[in-house]
């Protein structure tokens, strides 16, 4: 039981760190960058501040309150799963997903939109603009897929 409490404490710290970095980065982007202006970093990375009123690729942008309800339900499901799983590695993976989800959820509730600003491109091929919370969610999902693929074999 002590080990479980320590793992939970560590995972809460991980969530807090990722969430803090995400929200601070969004605050600075909102405060200091101009909307729809590109800031060159290098040949494959720009900062480009946009307000994302939807979800992936801006889908469902006219459904603000439905998105908030959807995100609350997803967070409740993840938290329920998180509380009931005792495996350290899966809790770490869930911490990544929870931190990213909370970052975007808080941003959406406060602003009515999510601040995206990372623009990755190779030549004229651009990946959709995203933020640090999206990276956390993406890495968590990749680790979750790998974990389940290894578990199945």
Residues catalogued as catalytic: 116, 134
**CA–CA distance from 42 to each of 47, 72, 90, 142 (Å)?**
10, 37, 35, 26
**CA–CA distance from 12 to each of 35, 106, 152 (Å)?**
33, 17, 28
Q: What residues have CB less than 8 Å from 14, skipping those under 6 apart?
A: 92, 95, 96, 99
Q: Please, which residues bridge with residue 126 across strands? A: 121
Sheet strand arrangement including 125-126: 38-42, 45-52, 114-122, 125-126
C-alpha neighbours within 13 Å on the C-beta side of residue 56: 4
């Amino acid at each position: 039981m002590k080990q479980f409490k320590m793992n939970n404490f560590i995972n809460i710290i991980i969530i807090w760190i990722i969430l803090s970095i995400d929200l601070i980065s969004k605050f600075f982007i909102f405060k200091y960058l101009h909307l729809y202006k590109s800031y060159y970093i290098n040949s494959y990375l720009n900062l480009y501040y946009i307000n994302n009123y939807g979800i992936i690729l801006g889908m469902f942008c006219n459904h603000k309150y439905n998105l908030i309800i959807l995100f609350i339900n997803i967070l409740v499901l993840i938290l329920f799963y998180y509380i009931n799983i005792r495996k350290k590695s899966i809790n770490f993976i869930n911490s990544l997903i929870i931190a990213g989800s909370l970052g975007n959820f808080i941003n959406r509730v406060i602003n009515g939109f999510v601040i995206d600003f990372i623009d990755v491109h190779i030549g004229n091929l651009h990946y959709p603009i995203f933020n640090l919370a999206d990276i956390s969610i993406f890495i968590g999902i990749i680790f979750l897929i790998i974990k389940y693929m290894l578990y199945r074999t």
